[in-house]
Structure 1
Amino acid sequence: MVDPGWARLASEERFASAWFTVWRDRARRPDGSVTDYDHVVAPAAVTVLAADGAGLVAVTRQWIYVHRERQWRLPAGRVESSENVDEAARRELREETGISAESWTALGVINCADSLTNHRDHAFLATGLTGGTQRLDAGEADLEVHWMPFARVVDLVLGGEMPHAGSSFAVLAAKVKGLLE
């Protein structure tokens, strides 16, 4: 990929946690001007659209602390440093819903907040589902799994009731690609 003229002149870590790191870069823009550019470096995430043979989709509902509300979303979570995105998708689906899947289809990748972070969400369609037991962590204690017709999930996205970027992207990608009806 050709650099369009941006250049990092210096970089300073401003804050680090187990979840993300905040950096301040001194950068030269393509026009030659110099600026400070603050940004968040975060691990990748996965989102799973799990659909059973009857056209029902596993949808979660839980309190999302930073948004201060309960939200509809698909099973999702971060990619741990020890795993690839495929492994993370399988793990997140099992942990949040107890479900395992025979077939996996990559739906694509979405950048979640380009001017703020490098965070990317990898979306998958999971089919050939087998039930099991959830393994929720303390932050997910209120997570509920609901089964909804795919058309209802599309309506949640289009109505703004499923604002999670990875979830909305996965649902719309599956719809546009004709993978689910």
Structure 2
Amino acid sequence: MTENPWQTLKVSTVYENPWIRMEHHDIVNPIGKEGIYGVVHFKNRAIGVIPIDKEGNTWLIGQYRYALKEYSWEIPMGGGPNELDLMESAKRELKEETGLTAEKWTQIMKIHTSNSVTDELGFVYMAEDLTQGETEFEETEVLQVKKLPFQEALDMVMSGEITDSLSIAGILKAARILGF
């Protein structure tokens, strides 16, 4: 069944900031019962980049994630405003977090990051033919940048050391593309 079996009765915004809007929905569910549903709407698209150099290295970003209350290793990533070009956002994120620019870009993934309570949409790119420059961290970012063989990043996924969903999905897809 591809048709929407849900009926929306009423939607109200319960919280909003520059990044998200939280909505309360009064609904009728697919079996005909009235209920409620909460939806988190993101004002940006999640954009991740997997840089790959000629030697088969990649870069990971380490940072403390406030909401998780733990340190996280991830692919270079950030938010791209919905109204801006995806590629421009990807280029900006790679430059900001690693100092890298790339000549070759390939979109390898479109993903819903958590389709039960949010409409967040993510995209992952592979970036190749790299040139190193200076990072341009945002004022709130305290990041650690790590260059490592791609195989080590893949091993970090498989061991559970990388837990970010966009990073896991992107690294696994890149591994398949690269023949790992």
Question: How would you bin the TM-score normalised by the shorter chain?
Answer: over 0.9
Aligned partner of 2:10 in structure 1 is 10
Aligned partner of 1:114 in structure 2 is 115
Aligned partner of 2:162 in structure 1 is 162
More strand as a share of residues: 2
Aligned partner of 2:127 in structure 1 is 126
Query: Is 1:85 aligned to residue 86 of structure 2?
Result: yes
Quote how far apart the aligned CAs of 1:180 are: 5.4
Taking the aligned partners of 1:81 and 1:116, their CA distance within structure 2 comes to 19
Aligned partner of 1:73 in structure 2 is 74
Give the ranges of 4+ consecutive aligned residues of structure 1 lying more than 3 Å apart after TM superposition.
Answer: none
Could you give the per-residue CA deviations for residues 77-99 of structure 1, whole angstroms, max 9, x where no partner exists? 00124412211111100111111
Quote how far apart the aligned CAs of 1:58 are: 0.9
Whether the 8 Å contact between 1:150 and 1:180 is mirrored in structure 2 is no
Could you give the per-residue CA deviations for residues 51-110 of structure 1, whole angstroms, max 9, x where no partner exists? 110000011111111111221111000012441221111110011111111111111122
Structure 1 residues without counterparts, runs of 5 or longer: none
Which structure 2 residues correspond to residues 5-154 of structure 1 after superposition, within 5 A? 5-42=5-42, 43-140=44-141, 142-154=142-154
Whether the 8 Å contact between 2:45 and 2:82 is mirrored in structure 1 is no
Q: TM-score, normalised by structure 2?
A: 0.94
Q: SS of the residue aligned with 1:135?
A: coil
* Matching residue's letter, 1:130: T
C-alpha RMSD of matched pairs (Å): 1.4
Equivalences, count: 179
Structure 2 residues without counterparts, runs of 5 or longer: none
* Matching residue's letter, 1:31: I
Quote how far apart the aligned CAs of 1:131 are: 0.9
